[in-house]
Amino acid sequence: MKPGLLRGLIRWVLWLLAAGVALQLAFVGRIALMAAVDPQSTAFQRSEAWRLARSDGAFQWSQQWVPYARLSPHLKRAVIASEDAGFTSHGGVDWSAIEQAWEKNARRREQAERRAARAGQPLHTRPPRIVGGSTITQQLAKNLLLSGERHMLRKGQELVLALLLETFLSKQRILEIYLNSVEWGSGVFGAEAAAQRYFRKPAERLSPHEAARLAVMLPAPKLYETRPNSAYLAGRTATIVARMGAVQLP
């Protein structure tokens, strides 16, 4: 390799490393600020606003921040029971849950490949349902600061951000930001907007059953928004209500 080309390659790599370090420092600054300042919006919300504005020409954004003390303890317990049972004990990433999800996805892919082969169809026509294994902290990291793209680099950044969130913010603050910013339907963000949208009451007055029903919607809020009488929604809600009593709140 020519000396000039080598120097150019080294310079390019150094610039790339510097940009990566600068990005991480910017993330650190934003996360540290969230210890005292409520985020006005998330990367996911802004992405949804842009998507809906392009498709519908308008975007109705429903969100109202509610402090941690005024969020129903039933909702806190329901979301932890449904989304991340180990929330109060892990450090932001549940490695055992990730390993279990990896193994489950591998089994599902094998089953999907066998079904597709028997039907004489390519796999993409009947893809397997992928499970995540992400913690509440990881979900918050993704929604707050990252794009919706799925690739290994973004997943790695998500893990780093989850660890940073756990370093700079308390568990209460992480759960507070999560419950105030997570999507609960098209243009519906946060517990207060969800409680008003589905039950016509403030988030602090949600009953155990209402809280569990909202928690069960979280993996696919737009789907369950249009299927309120889903048998799965009813059955899963009953399961979460039964688990809520064992949940320890931060």
Domain-located, residue 229 = no
Residues 6+ apart with CB under 8 A from 162: 92, 93, 135, 137, 138, 140, 141
Domain-located, residue 66 = no
**Does the pLDDT at position 123 exceed 90?**
no
Domain-located, residue 6 = yes
Full-model pTM: 0.84
Domain-located, residue 2 = yes
pLDDT at 105: 60
**Does the pLDDT at position 136 exceed 70?**
yes
pLDDT at 173: 97
pLDDT at 5: 74
pLDDT at 61: 79
**Does the pLDDT at position 27 exceed 80?**
yes
**Does the pLDDT at position 126 exceed 60?**
no
pLDDT at 102: 62
pLDDT tens per residue, range 168-185: 999 999 999 999 999 999
Q: What is the mean pLDDT of residues 35-50?
A: 89
Q: What is the mean pLDDT of residues 110-116?
A: 64
Domain-located, residue 12 = yes
Q: What is the mean pLDDT of residues 4-11?
A: 74
Residue 5 structure tokens: 């080309």
**Does the pLDDT at position 207 exceed 70?**
yes
pLDDT at 60: 74
Domain-located, residue 14 = yes
Domain-located, residue 165 = no
**Does the pLDDT at position 222 exceed 60?**
yes
pLDDT at 116: 61
Closest CA to 210 of 30, 74, 32, 111: 74
pLDDT above 70 covers a percentage of the chain that reads 80
Distance between CA atoms of 111 and 117, rounded to whole angstroms?
10
**Does the pLDDT at position 149 exceed 70?**
no
The answer to whether residues 171 and 247 touch, using CB atoms and an 8 Å cutoff, is no
CA angle 242, 204, 40 (to 5 degrees): 115
pLDDT at 130: 47
**Number of domains forming the structure of the chain:** 1
pLDDT at 153: 76
The answer to whether residues 159 and 98 touch, using CB atoms and an 8 Å cutoff, is no
Q: What is the mean pLDDT of residues 189-208?
A: 96
pLDDT at 46: 86
Q: Domain range holding 25?
A: 1-33
Place of tokens 């907007």: 193
Chain centroid to CA 172: 17
Domain-located, residue 26 = yes
